[in-house]
Chains A and B, each alone.
Chain A
Amino acid sequence: MPTLRKQASLVVGVPLLVIFLALLGIGWLVRETESSETLTQRAERLRFNTSELFQALLDAESGVRGYALTKDPSFLGAYHDEVRLIPGLIDSVRGGPSALAPAGRPRATAIAAAARVELGLLAKKIRDVDAGDGSALQIDLLAGKQNMDRIRTLAHELEDNVRMRLNQRVAEYEANKLRLGIAVGVAALLAAVAVFVTLGLFMSTVANRLAKVVARTARIAIGDDLLPPSRRPDEIGQLDRAVSEMGARLRRQSADLLRRNEQLLGVNKDLESFSYSVSHDLRSPVRAVLGYSRILEEDYGESLDDEGRRLLSVVQKEATRMGLLIDHLLELSRLGRGELQGAQINMEALVRDVVRELTEPCEPGTVEVEIGTLPDAYGDKTQLRQVWQNLISNAVKYSNREEHPVVWIGGTLEDGEAVYQVRDNGVGFDMQYADKLFGVFQRLHRNEDFPGTGVGLAIVHKVVSRHGGRVWAESSPGSGATFSFALPAALPAEAHR
């Protein structure tokens, strides 16, 4: 699978290969330098051997010459010493130039041959002396001198040959060195270019393809990604497919949500038309019962006895209660729907308004209401007015039988939350039923003791919950109750709908 990592290793690998080849070239150059040094050493040895041979021949010759002049055999000691060494020297001279300087080979051979001739001549001179043949000796001496001159000339020529060859090789080597230097430089340059080009191509391909993935995420963000994803097997291809899959899933989910939302809207609409019907159709019979019982009372009240009038008043009372229940139920269902009209609310002004409305019909001095400082909060004013109305009217209702009924209203600001309290010194309730307080139609007191429909606190709970707040209550029987609720003090980051 051609992953990006493999592509990246290729990007690094190609220049590395170029650099490796350049290193090989440098290695070869170094070896060439070494072989040229050996060449110089061998040339030096050949020259040394040649001059050794020549010297040995000279020494042998001077020994023979001394013997010829004095007839003293002790002169021949040096001759015999040299003659033993000379064949070895001849061999080394003859083999010397082989690979070194092919042009010098005939001369080396010639030197070797001449050296052997010289050995022959020297032996013959000794025989001439021993035979006392002076004229032959003269001839041989002359021949020896000529032969030695020839060897000297040949030796010089051989040396020239070798030196020439050596110079030539050094020049070749220098030329090679320059060429290789250039080659290495070019290779390094190529490597650098290779690095830049491949890396550049690689990076721009990667960047271009990543940009496509980024563009896809942007399309997903606006819910408009329909392009098929990349099929390439590398990491960017995988990323593109994953992002595309994510977008497709998002699209499916949001379509699901939309469908479900439509269903909910439908359900909501049904509920709304239900409550509409309830509002319209349930009220009419109640009104009829109330109206006709009143007409009955007005027109025929005098012909009824006390029991008849009592029965009629029960009908009226219960029908009135039924009407109230319907109204409260409608209120509860209305508060659960529709958008909250959020605004910053001056709570103190709102509460004073509600308290005035609730206590005005009462005889002055019946209920004492104390209002402490109340922090402002964010919410729907109409609905929160309803909350205050229900809580304060409850407090008044349940403390009304005390000798000095007192309702205390206060609030604090805690961690960005406005917490409000409505406290009374009324009958209170048993905390073990506290969880039932906020349920619809849940009542902790008998209707005869404290009339009510059991919807007020349910409305409080619903409104406060829709505001993202909490509501709770504390009490014990006979010692009053404290109802508290908390609301966001300022506009929440995400507006509630």
Chain B
Amino acid sequence: MNQYDDTDILLAEDNEHDAEMAMRAFKRHNFANRLHWVKDGVEALDFILCRDTYANRDRARLPKVLLLDLKMPRMDGLDVLRALKGDERTHAIPVVIMTSSDQERDVVESYRLGVNGYVTKPVEFAAFTEVVAKIGMFWLLVNRVPGAV
């Protein structure tokens, strides 16, 4: 069994501080060991499609939620979203945009592409922690995805 195979949360975030804070929040709620952090859109797709570094990953095991930042180097969040929702193998993966941007056009475009949730990262740490915890709770404990037992 591959080290990535029990990943439930895939976090795509280029800002290491945001990533660290998010992971700290998940850790506090004991989701941290099921989280994997990728630093841009290309790596996110590599992970899901089992390419490159992730070639040995079990293709059948998909994350229960992808937390996707919008502005990332190489391939941004909207491109990743477009690729995933346009691909029959991956379009069922729940994707939640988690970004600093509260620009209306980003929200509109994300939903047009079929996003499952859109969350603006609060600047205040307490609020940020709370939002991250709620996301983890819902998508990992409450939500049901196809094929899961």
Q: Name the one of B15, B103, B124, B126 contacting A284, with C-beta atoms under 8 angstroms.
A: B15
Structural contact, A280 and B18, CB atoms closer than 8 A: no
Residues of A with C-beta under 8 A to B101: 276, 279-280
- Which A residues are in CB contact (< 8 Å) with B37? none
For B, the interface residue count at a CB cutoff of 8 angstroms equals 19
CA distance A283 to B124 in the complex (A): 10
A28 and B143 alpha carbons, distance in the complex (Å) = 122
Q: Is A57 at the interface (CB under 8 A from chain B)?
A: no
B102 nearest CB neighbor, chain A only:
A279
**Cα-based distance from A287 to B25 in the complex (angstroms):** 14
In the complex, the answer to whether A287 meets B24 with C-beta atoms within 8 Å is: no
Residues on A with C-beta less than 8 A from B99 are 280
Shortest distance between the CB of A358 and any CB in chain B (Å): 20
Q: How many A-B residue pairs have CB under 8 A?
A: 56
Interface SS of chain A: helix, strand, loop or mixed? helix
- A142 in contact (CB, < 8 A): no
Q: Which residue of A lies closest to B17 (CB)?
A: A288
What residues of B have a CB within 8 angstroms of the CB of A286 in the complex? Answer: 123
- Bound together, the chains give a CA A320 to CA B102 distance in angstroms of 18
* A123 close to chain B: CB less than 8 A: no
Determine whether B118 belongs to the interface, using a CB cutoff of 8 Å to chain A: no
Interface hits, A288-347 → B, CB 8 Å: 288, 290-295, 320, 323, 326-327, 330
CB-CB under 8 A from A291, the residues of chain B are 17, 21, 125, 128
A276 to B109, CA, bound (A): 15
Interface mask (B1-43 → A, CB under 8 Å = 1, otherwise 0): 0000000000000010110010010000000000000000000
What's the tally of chain A residues with a CB closer than 8 Å to chain B? Answer: 20
CA distance A293 to B17 in the complex (A): 12
In contact, B103 and A287 (Cβ under 8 angstroms): no
Residues in B neighbouring A287, C-beta threshold 8 A: 17-18, 21, 100, 121-123, 125, 128
CA distance A137 to B128 in the complex (A): 179
B70 close to A (CB within 8 Å): yes
* Cα distance A281–B124 in the bound complex, in angstroms: 15
Say yes or no: A280 contacts B70, CB within 8 Å. yes
**Chain B nearest CB, measured from A414 CB (Å):** 35
Is B91's beta carbon under 8 Å from chain A? no
* Contact (Cβ within 8 A) A284 B18: yes
Which of B21, B100, B122, B123 neighbours the largest number of chain A CB atoms within 10 Å of its CB? B123
| The one of B70, B103, B122, B125 that contacts A294, using a Cβ cutoff of 8 Å | B125
B15, B24, B103, B123: the one contacting A295 at CB < 8 Å is B24
Chain A nearest CB from B107 CB (Å) reads: 12
The reply to whether the CB of B82 lies closer than 8 angstroms to some CB of chain A is: no
| Interface status of B71 (Cβ within 8 A of chain A) | yes
The answer to whether residues A290 and B123 also contact, given A279-B101, A284-B17 and a CB cut-off of 8 A, is: yes
Question: Given A287-B121, A323-B123, A280–B71 Cβ distance below 8 Å?
Answer: yes
**Hey, which chain B residues are within 8 Å of A288, CB to CB?**
15, 17-18, 21
Q: Which residues of A contact B (CB under 8 A)?
A: 276, 279-281, 283-284, 286-288, 290-295, 320, 323, 326-327, 330
Taking Cβ atoms with an 8 Å cutoff, the residues of B that contact A are 15, 17-18, 21, 24, 70-71, 99-103, 121-126, 128
> Assuming A276-B101, A326-B123, what are 4 further A-B pairs, CB within 8 angstroms?
A276-B103, A280-B99, A283-B100, A290-B124
